[in-house]
Amino acid sequence: MALLSESAKAVAAANGPAAPTAWQAWRYRLKVALREPTTLIGVLTALLFTYLIVVPIISIVLDAARVQFGHERRLSKDVGEFTLYYLDRVLFSPVSADLFWRPLLNTLSVAMGAILLSLVIGTVLAWLISRTDMFGRRWFATALIVPYMLPAWTFALAWTTLFKNRTVGGQPGWLEAVGLTPPDWLAYGRFPITIILALHYTPFVILLFGSALRRFDSQLEDSARILGARHHQVALQIILPLMRPALLSSMVLIFAKCLGEFGVPYVLGLPVKFEVLSTSLFRSIASRQTGVAGVIAGSIMLIGIITLLIDARLVREARRFVTIGSKGSMDRQSRLGRMRLPAAGFAATVFLMSVGLPLLTLFLSTIMKLPARFTLDNFTLDYWIGRDLDTVALKTGILLSPDLWAAAKNTLTIVGLASVTSGILGLLVGYVVIRTPVRLLSVYLRQVTFLPYLVPGIAFAAAYLSLFAVPRGPMPALYGTVVILVLALIADQMPYASRAGISAMTQLGKDPEEAAQIAGAGWLRRMTSIVIPIQKGSLVTGVLLPFISGIKGLSLFVILAVPSTDVLTTYSLRLVDYHYTQAANAVVLIIAAIAYLGTLIAQKLTRTNLAEGLGS
């Protein structure tokens, strides 16, 4: 027996050590992963974002399939039991046309109209800016992007100021004040909503299509013309196929944005009962139809996810259309000759219609006693700084109103706190995604922080309302508090903050940290002394981008804010509901100024130019 044992040992020694089992290999990798706090931090952030992002979405989807409070007798079931009642009510009942199908068709028609109009305007402007010698080309490259920097419903309020008729109360519109009564189809509903959304999202086409045109090699056009191709053949058979990915991507992004747009349909659709999915969802929540809201929100999320997954597929497909460039590749500008001035006139007209006229209209409305009367005695600053005004509730100018400053304080507190937190969390996510040895954790964090980008803001707000409106375990009800707004905004802005953090950490090598670790510095010391100082620019980006987006955001706040937690956007919308036109327009101008100046400051600090790409 001893001889057998000795021989077995000899054979084992000759064959080398036994290979580790799968369990042993897994335990070793886990031990290595736990040596650094990166894995622990990754697990904690993964749990946090699961609770802030995944759980609310699951909650509102479950609301669509559970009996809600107040419906127990009608359904003969207890609260929380499984039911298909809400799904049937939204999709198949006699009221389904009003709840879902008509708003869906309206949403699709508005989105398609906005896409077509923005493509027609945007492709022409992108070509003029990128490939011609048009007058003022560089100035227009930035000026024509300004509509995207401003809240979309800024233009809706300007439209009502001009075209409002007696369908709603309050002061008459400018046209009616001079004796012209605009018809309802012009003042409200599908037509103005489509026009405004098209002008607001035309910068998408200018940015994406223009960027693709700048990378296009002019020698391909020259070769086609040498072979006898005419201008329309060059455009249809060479330029258009190569530009197709950029055009399709801009179409998909515009559709996704129109899907969740709330402010413009609310202002212009409500007077004539023209509803889209976002306003139908808002009405369901306002009337406490939680189950119905769950079905509509789930539908909006599903359409949004499918739309942006299509966009991701198109981005991958775009690689098939990459042209091979070299030192001889050219992006030569076309000479317009006698058309230079008309081209510049067209660009100037679009700028005036999308920026100049709306902002001027809003400003003039705030300093006029009576609309559309351009006499010196009609101009006043009372609506800005006046006292003892002849109104029911708003007795002072907007700058002297305590409600404005309370809303401004809430805005800076909520948006500022959420932006700083999301910026820091974004940098931590980037650090974990790049540094952790646990690939599954890296992939999960990357995907879960991007998920809110796939969900329209109003549906995401409805998901938060579903989760936090009532106490759940140790978590108290948060509806009506600042906390729910901060948490929702952090989660909603994580796609921007996390991408900024991941991009920053991708460019930072391990050498500085390893040197500090050899010198005895712990993880916290390395983060505060090395990583954050080196990546302070990316941290600023991760804070500023959510801040700018939060300042002009409406869809998220309109569901979750109450009068005590009003921010500037919801405060202005309440003024619209009360028909205080001058005050509402003044607040919108303040929001637009903050958003525009914030964008310029962000570009200055990050040394980027929005006119050269969408960035984050």
pLDDT tens string 241-260: 666 777 777 888 888 888 88
Q: Does pLDDT of 422 surpass 50?
A: yes
If 0-12 CB within 10 Å is exposed, 13-18 middle and 19+ buried, where does residue 267 land? buried
pLDDT tens string 177-199: 888 889 999 999 999 999 999 99
SS3 68: coil
Residue 169: predicted pLDDT: 72
Quick one: pLDDT band at residue 327, thresholds 50, 70, 90?
Answer: very low
pLDDT tens string 157-173: 999 999 998 887 777 88
Burial 561-579 (b: 16+ CB within 10 A, else e): beeebbbbbbbbbbbbeee
Mean pLDDT, range 119-142, rounded to an integer: 87
Residue 614: predicted pLDDT: 40
Residue 197: predicted pLDDT: 94
The candidate with the shortest Cα–Cα distance to 365, out of 582, 96, 102, is 582
pLDDT tens string 480-490: 899 999 999 99
Q: Which residue has the tokens 């409500």?
A: 270
Mean pLDDT, range 477-506, rounded to an integer: 86
d(CA 564, CA 480): 8
SS3 475: strand
Residue 352: predicted pLDDT: 93
d(CA 19, CA 552): 60
Residue 331: predicted pLDDT: 53
pLDDT tens string 43-52: 889 999 999 9
Residue 108: predicted pLDDT: 94
Please state, rounded to an integer, the average pLDDT across all residues of the chain: 81
d(CA 553, CA 496): 14
Q: Does pLDDT of 323 surpass 50?
A: no
Q: Is the dihedral of CA 565, 568, 571, 573 positive or negative?
A: negative
Residue 408: predicted pLDDT: 92
Residues 531, 431 contacting (CB under 8 angstroms) = yes
Q: Does pLDDT of 268 surpass 90?
A: yes
Instruction: Report the percent of the chain where pLDDT is more than 90.
Output: 28
Considering only residues 130 and 299, tell me which one the structure prediction assigns the higher pLDDT.
Answer: 299
All structural domains of the chain: 379-430+454-609 (1.10.3720.10)
pLDDT tens string 423-444: 889 888 888 888 887 788 888 9
Stated pTM of the model: 0.81
Q: Does pLDDT of 567 surpass 80?
A: yes
Quick one: pLDDT band at residue 421, thresholds 50, 70, 90?
Answer: very high
Considering only residues 153 and 392, tell me which one the structure prediction assigns the higher pLDDT.
Answer: 153
Quick one: pLDDT band at residue 321, thresholds 50, 70, 90?
Answer: very low
Least confident residue range of 7-21, 58-72, 303-317, 581-595 = 7-21
Residue 41: predicted pLDDT: 86
d(CA 450, CA 469): 25
Residue 548: predicted pLDDT: 79
Quick one: pLDDT band at residue 152, thresholds 50, 70, 90?
Answer: confident
Least confident residue range of 124-133, 240-249, 321-330, 555-564 = 321-330
Least confident residue range of 69-83, 144-158, 318-332, 548-562 = 318-332
